[in-house]
A and B are shown apart, each in its own frame.
Chain A
């Protein structure tokens, strides 16, 4: 399994929250901005940070941030699983185990939904708190047809709760061969959505070639996952697939949600975000920006 040296996730949510409310309501109009951050050092989460430890810039303008208590903030998790013809045998079983492991790590307040895709997409389970229903949905995955991974990701981005925190975990073992849309369409859609995307792919190990540089072509969705504040996980065997899900699950409990109020009404369009720590060399993985609609 290839994991970058640090795991960091950040989820930006453009909200209509006023200070004093007990629970933030995330939404499309920007009065307050919420940024979901994962900070790590040597692949371990850095905890105990305060708002003043962060240096956050919105289109280059620094903002004072506060840390929001995440205990009461439910997360909507959308499991988007490849059920195309190539998902057979060990791979399917490993995916089921990995999905169940993730469910065990979630809090009771977190809703989970399952979307299956081959060359078509469909709900296996709409977002629910009922873990039994989700386990049954995962168990019912049956391999058939081609791979419309772009349809699947677009669906998850579009149905993500626009006023909540949504985590999309997309598993696929193939490149798209069936969608009308392409990676460019998905990149734009991901910028408009507040969902954070983790991409998990299965790929054979790099071939041994002692005197040659062998470059593996990245999956087109890898950069989309990273730009959304999530991460691309590459499992080189089905045995290590569960490890990816375990680490995603572990990261859920150790994230920060930062909150700040832009001084002026944010201008419509793309807002570039930069988040750093004022001190130390911890790695921060964050959404690269957010979109403010024109009306």
Chain B
């Protein structure tokens, strides 16, 4: 079995070497036909799959999985070649995005930022990649890796750029509002979150904006406005745990023990199947990386 395994890996390694040689030859050739683009897409996904095999996610969600290794880097390198050709640019863009999400999901924050930046080198105005970069800074601050204050400032800068270049991206505005609040700019946070509500956003964004506004008001000592914001969030998502407990906290601190107990009961008794949008907030789109990889894998085989 072991001999068979060694043979398998040796064959695979030889295959990778051959592919690499072909791709390097193609990358030096400006006038080559598009015949090599499909193998390059397949090679990108092959290297990705080899990397996922060598660095599998932990079964225990509370154990940090390993970060991507040399095959992930090779896949990114080849994807950069695809970004040069019009017909494969969007494949490359989505690959960079999925890789950034994957690193973010695995809490490999340095990699997430590096990979987003590789993508932004090829697609400087892409709002999805810039949003992913901003969110990865925000998450790094939450995890306490590096200098949280500095990460929040970076997150603010990147998210502000998304809001400026793509004002319809309410998701970016929600993250920016939260980051501003965490930086202590409560008035700016309030304006940003209120803009999400004024834009008539989707339920998820409205729920999160109300919840975060509740915390903005609470920090400023405006208990009435805070409880009002949490209640509005519950109107949008009746089973929202974060809103119910935010409300419970505001009421308890204000001295309304009966109201606090009632709001907490709501959180404790919610349906097991219900999902609080805040639960996904910290991961944001990162949980979708595998779906996007599947789509890209299918495309690479066409």
The interface of chain A, by Cβ under 8 A from chain B, is 28, 84-86, 88, 115, 119-123, 145-147, 151, 154-155, 157-159, 162, 174, 177-181, 185, 188-189, 192-193, 291, 293-295
Contacts and interface: CB of A to CB of B under 8 A. Distances in A.
Given A86-B60, A119-B279, A189-B252, A162 B257 contact: yes
Contacts, number: 87
B253 interface: yes
A63 to B, nearest CB: 23
User: A-B pairs with the 3 shortest C-beta distances?
Assistant: A293-B255, A158-B264, A180-B242
Nearest to B215: A180
B134 interface: no
A280 to B, nearest CB: 37
B133 interface: no
Nearest to B279: A119
B261 A158 contact: yes
B241 interface: yes
B235 to A, nearest CB: 18
Given A151-B245, A155-B264, A122 B62 contact: no
DSSP class of B's interface residues: helix, strand, loop or mixed? helix
Nearest to A193: B252
B62 A192 contact: no
Contacts of A121: 241, 267-268
A146 B249 contact: no
Contacts of A28: 255, 257
Contact of B248 (A115, A146, A158, A293): A158
Contacts of B269: 122-123
Contacts of B268: 115, 121-123, 155, 159
A180 B211 contact: yes
Contact of B278 (A146, A180, A192): A180
Contacts of B246: 180-181
Given A121-B241, A180-B215, A180-B245, A159 B62 contact: no
